[in-house]
Structure 1
């Protein structure tokens, strides 16, 4: 409680004085100092995001509300994105009294930060929409994704039918995988499919680990559980480090799939290293894994990469 009070006093009273002093001595507003002084990627974008959210300017507050509405409704795309970014930058130039002819580099850096900040918010909306989409066995597109998942994970084996115990070979609980997608909807399937197609060799190695006689687990069920973890990290902002350091343009659903694939790849390695006695240790190991991931994401320089091979067990 005491720490919160100190922070509130600093944010409300001391911070504006410090900003005023630095503006007078450097001739630059806080946003300019961030864009010129902070390392590109997560450090710069997070600092810009914090500065904007702490602003008391009525115009800036209204701008944030407008950008939130645009991204929440997934209208931050294409030509609309360019016009919105241009208008947002011009608003800040006017409010902060920044000369665009002199500070053209600021415009480039600041625009990039805005694209990432509200692209991230839009990504949450896009991911949530997929999660709310129920897997429909009567939908030919949903079914084709399911068959494609099998084909990439088990290329040597042909499915005997749509309803079959073979689905258990890739870690579904029963004879019909649709029942396992209830919690994460179509998002769970699309995550699994992306991992199996875009990182096919690592995914097949991970699948082979799931068949281990001592350390085995249900590949698909664990994968859907990790979809839930990835979504939680996206919602609470922990995944910003990954997105801000990885995205070169407007963050897309592909970036979330890449984040998920990294989590699955690393969880498998962590699971094997833990040498669990049985599947009953899953909850504990999963929680430890989440703590490790959160710790890594606290480093603003963090970048995730998936290797091309997985060691045999």
Structure 2
């Protein structure tokens, strides 16, 4: 027996082509043009363009999507290739949809921005995934330097007594050697923490000071790595597109992901303090509620998280 939902989609897909034909005849604009002219810039426009392209029946557009997907997977949409792919994508759509670029200059500009959003996001995911799968290696000098930078960012006036020391527990690692805590999120977890400590030093130290609270404290670094997992999950399942598409004017970069993470960490700290947990055993419950709140916000197409931290007294 066919469900109501099944009937809806059956009729939707069979009627979609007819609806598009009627709208094109009445407006003299194809679906992509209507989206680029009518939808607000950012997530509403880029998500609608992405949906339209993915459901196109044109073989040429299908080939174009495969080429862009391949480049994003290989993480090669940079420099000259970025420009070549963008121009090729624009030319393909103009030709297939019979759009005169001289008469629709605004369309070319708006559509190009959407392409950068869509495949910049896909490339960003693969960059982030590569970092997540890269494990911390004590024999790599760069990895060790990042650990030192994290310590210096949070505790500039306190020298480390040794590479392996209980001091690491002061900033929220579980043991004397932080490397064991990065197994789940790899270098991504470390890079997120370092970025927060160096780019938003005041906010990071503010959050760290909260983690030392005698009653409502928590393990700063371990919570940070848990929030790396949350940021990664939101990126992977596409929920983060709302913020990324709205926040980025051009190609989303790794910096955009780090900033997204910093926002999550700062807001989680505030949520944690306001929840007044009896002890750290409530972490999972509070984190799950925080994630639900974030996902609810991201369900709004206009959501964009502002990275303007206001540091108040503890």
Answer yes or no: is 1:275 the counterpart of 2:285.
no
Unpaired segments ≥5 residues, structure 2 = none
Answer yes or no: is 1:102 the counterpart of 2:133.
no
Within 5 Å, which residues of 2 pair with 1:96-175?
A: 96-175=97-176
Distance 1:3 1:295, change over 3 A: farther
TM-score (norm 1): 0.98
**1:78 corresponding residue in structure 2:** 79
Q: Summarize deviations over 1:257-306 as a string: whole Å, max 9, x none.
A: 00000000000000011111111100011000000000111111111123
Q: Distance in 2 between matches of 1:3 and 1:206?
A: 49
The SS at the match of 2:216 is coil
Shift of 1:3: 4.7
Q: Distance in 2 between matches of 1:244 and 1:7?
A: 29
Q: Distance in 2 between matches of 1:7 and 1:165?
A: 61
Asked if the contact 1:211–1:217 (Cα under 8 Å) also holds between the matched residues in 2, the reply is yes
**1:247 corresponding residue in structure 2:** 248
The SS at the match of 2:57 is coil
Shift of 1:10: 3.7
Answer yes or no: is 1:312 the counterpart of 2:301.
no
Q: Distance in 1 between matches of 2:139 and 2:87?
A: 44
Q: Distance in 1 between matches of 2:231 and 2:96?
A: 37
**1:69 corresponding residue in structure 2:** 70
Asked if the contact 1:70–1:76 (Cα under 8 Å) also holds between the matched residues in 2, the reply is yes
Shift of 1:77: 0.9
Q: Distance in 1 between matches of 2:296 and 2:255?
A: 24
The SS at the match of 1:205 is helix
Asked if the contact 1:201–1:309 (Cα under 8 Å) also holds between the matched residues in 2, the reply is no
Distance 1:52 1:217, change over 3 A: same
Segment of structure 1 superposing worse, 59-68 or 206-215: 59-68
Q: Summarize deviations over 1:2-47 as a string: whole Å, max 9, x none.
A: 3531342244211111100000001000000000111111111111
**2:92 corresponding residue in structure 1:** 91
